[in-house]
Each structure stands twice: as C-alpha cells, then as structure tokens.
Chains A and B, each alone.
Chain A
C-alpha cells in the first residue's frame, strides 16, 4: 500500500493546499489592493509551477526543452494579452 503514495506527490499536494490557504488570506485579512494582488500573483504562479513540474513531470525526459519553450511562449503571450489590454483599455481610462 505504501508504495502507492510516493512522498514527492504527497508533499506536492500539501504544498498546493498551503498555497491555497495563503491566497485565502487576502479575503480574511485587511490589506491594500497592491499587497493582495502581489500575494495572489505569487501563490498562483508558484501553484502552477508545482503542477507542471511535480504532477505533470514536465522536466523528466529530453523533450523538456521543447515542453518548457512551449509553456513559456504560452505564458508570455498570455501576459502580453492581459496586461497589454489592461494598459490600453482600462488603466489609461482611470
């Protein structure tokens, strides 16, 4: 039975629950918008990293360079779309 629950996966699970709770602090604690967003950005991206590397085994074969290039390209375009649109459509209107 024990061999079915590797410690790496259990640690990953506990760590991801922990990150969820840390993110939850922005709801229960009284903090500024900037601090709240900083905490959420850090917890969300670390959480994504945990999933990709621990659970999805992104780095375990020699195809890792292709996999990480695709991921970083996707994330770069995602950030460009989100922040570019915020910059031109929301922030300059305030």
Chain B
C-alpha cells in the first residue's frame, strides 16, 4: 500500500481517493432524489383538498430548534474531521458523539412533529399536499436515522482500530453524508416551512 503523506490521512491511498470521489457522485444522485421530492411537493403544495394547509399545521418553534440542532451537528462533525486530521483520537470521538446526540435530538423532535401532524388530521392519505410533505420530510428523517447507525459503527471502529487510513477515510465519507443532510434540511426549512408560513 502506497502512502502519500502530503495529504490528510483520508486521501492517503489511491483507494481512499476513489472512495471519496465515488461518494460525491452518490451525493449528486441524492440531490436528484430530493429534487424529485421537492418537485412533487411544489406541484401539490396548494392541493390541500379538505385537509389542513401548511399555514395551519407548521409551528415555528420546533422547526427553529431542529434547524439549530442540525446546523450545530454539522459544525461539530466538521470539528471531528479537523481533530482527526491533527490525530486527536479522543477529541474526534467526542465530537462524533456530540454530533450523534444532536442528530438523535433532531429525530426526536421530528417524530413528535409527525405525531402532531397526525393528530391534526394531516396523514399520508389526506391530500396531495400532506402526502408530498410527509414523504419529503420522511425521506430526510430516514436518512438521519440511517446516519445515526452509521455514525455509531464509525465510532466503534475508531475505538477498536484507532485513526488509520481506512477509518479516517470512512469517517470523512460519513461527514460528507452528514453535511449533505444539513444542506437538504436548509432547503426544507426555507422552501417548505418558511415559504409555507410566509
């Protein structure tokens, strides 16, 4: 295995570099996945039928808390990557742990929101608006849920094997995924919630 020491550990082998580029291409496909969901949402946004409208069910408080939680978790995983690059194993683990706790809190609030929507009569079957809304939010939430398990596996590997070219590469790719979820949330925050309450 040829090691290149001029670049951070996660890029140090040819395989590592290819893994990272490959993951970016996957993220490109993820942009398109969310684009189709947003398309459906924008088309059905005003087709509320007899069900509630966005203005009636969106509440600013939990949305702002969730935005803050996810933005902060995006910051802390950035710090985790920085700590990893200066070879600080404990700090890396601590920042990853904080990131996952923030992610879990985000998910808790989102599940609570879904229950509120359900009690207000906004279910998947209610109207074009509610089904495209819940599908878009649900897809994002499912990604966060998957990310929590992925993150736990990453933490376990760093504890077991330390910061090696392989674990550094995996951690970096996980950070790309996590930041991407934050970007998608910003679009949900802007073009679903704020636009709906404007």
Contacts and interface: CB of A to CB of B under 8 A. Distances in A.
Are A and B associated in one complex?
yes
A69 B72 CA distance: 28
A42 to B, nearest CB: 10
A66 B21 contact: yes
Contacts, number: 136
A92 interface: no
A44 B187 contact: yes
A13 B182 CA distance: 12
Q: How large is the interface on B (under 10, 10 to 19, 20 to 34, 35 or more residues)?
A: 35 or more
Interface string B18-33: 0011001101111110
Contacts of B183: 47-48, 51-52
Main secondary structure of the interface of A (DSSP, over half): helix
Interface of A: 3-6, 9, 12-13, 16-17, 20, 23-24, 26-27, 33, 36-37, 40, 43-44, 47-48, 51-52, 54-58, 61, 63, 66-67, 70-71, 73-75, 77-79, 81-82, 85-86, 89-90
19 contacts: A4-B79, A9-B75, A20-B189, A26-B198, A27-B60, A27-B198, A40-B195, A61-B11, A63-B20, A66-B24, A71-B31, A73-B28, A74-B30, A74-B35, A77-B31, A81-B32, A82-B38, A89-B43, A90-B43
Interface of B: 7, 11, 17, 20-21, 24-25, 27-32, 34-36, 38-39, 42-43, 60, 64, 67-68, 71-72, 74-75, 77-79, 81-83, 86, 88, 91, 175-176, 179-180, 182-183, 186-187, 189-191, 194-195, 197-198
